[in-house]
Chains A and B, each alone.
Chain A
Amino acid sequence: MSLFKIFDIAGSGMSAQNLRLNTTASNMANADSVATKPEDAYKSRQAVFSAMLQNSFDQNSGGVGVQTLGIVESQAEHNMRFEPGHPLANEEGYIFDSNVNTIEEMANMISASRSYQTNVEVLNTSKKLLLQTLKLGE
């Protein structure tokens, strides 16, 4: 029954979107973190998704969901601010902001939550269909 596989597929989609929401939350929470050196400053984290394929022989199966290859840190430039009074300021009086783009993260969050909802809906529909199939012939 392929319908049982849908639970795995939608589940993988949900966990992937959940991870994306997690990274977004982390990025948003650290958007205003500062550091003395640019390499210590918080770097925006992004999840990398990839389609899962069962094996090359089973091309007809059409894959089994989505997987997260890992989390990459953004290499964007850190904003430098002159604040000599700041406790974390370096000798020249500069502090370094995180490279989180809050607007991008907000859009990311909405996209992730919509995708999560879609997967939940798919799961619910499949559950309904399976329950009806169980009642076949009653």
Chain B
Amino acid sequence: MTINIDNYLGLHSTALNLRSQRAKLLANNLANADTPNYKARDIDFRSSLQKARQNHGAQPGKTHAAHIPLTANAGAHALQYRVPTQPSLDGNTVDTQVEQGKFTDNAIRYQASLQFLNKRITGLIRTLRSE
């Protein structure tokens, strides 16, 4: 019997990666809360995760910094613009409260994925131990 670690860890490692990318996006929104004409952006997590799963494993290398990446991550998130509830006069669409809520939500879900992953790993280690 062979164990494929990638399959064993399942969805969670991909989810963790996506969660950290989304955290970065939301942090960027929050940092630009006072920037005129800045448009808040986010990803659709469900479709991004599906795409990342499909593209899993197919990652051509880059030989130049300016190459357009074809990695799973590049196709994974189609950035979308947030629809503002209260558009402001300076063209900024960041609603700090909304972004903060989403950031916290994302952080908790990151921790959840982390915990799932942790349990899998400790489970594997326990199996490997010959006691």
Interface residues of A (CB under 8 A from B): 1-3, 5-6, 9-10, 12-13, 16-17, 20, 49-51, 55, 57, 59-66, 111-112, 114-115, 118-119, 121-122, 125-126, 128-129, 132-133, 136-137
Contact = CB atoms under 8 A, between A and B. Distances in A.
Interface of B: 16, 20-21, 23-28, 30-36, 38, 41, 66-69, 73-74, 77, 79, 96, 100, 103-104, 107, 110-111, 114, 117-118, 121-122, 125
26 contacts: A2-B23, A3-B20, A3-B24, A9-B27, A13-B30, A16-B31, A16-B34, A17-B34, A55-B66, A57-B66, A60-B73, A60-B77, A66-B31, A66-B32, A114-B96, A118-B30, A118-B96, A122-B27, A122-B31, A129-B110, A132-B111, A132-B114, A136-B114, A136-B117, A137-B118, A137-B121
A51 B28 CA distance: 9
Q: Tell me what chain B mostly uses at the interface: helix, strand, loop, or mixed.
A: helix
A9 B24 CA distance: 8
B86 to A, nearest CB: 15
Given A55-B66, A57-B67, A129-B111, 7 more contacts: A49-B35, A50-B36, A62-B28, A112-B34, A129-B107, A132-B114, A137-B125
B103 A122 contact: yes
B23 A126 contact: yes
A113 to B, nearest CB: 12
Given A57-B66, A125-B104, A2 B30 contact: no
A11 to B, nearest CB: 9
A9 to B, nearest CB: 5
Contact of B118 (A61, A62, A136): A136
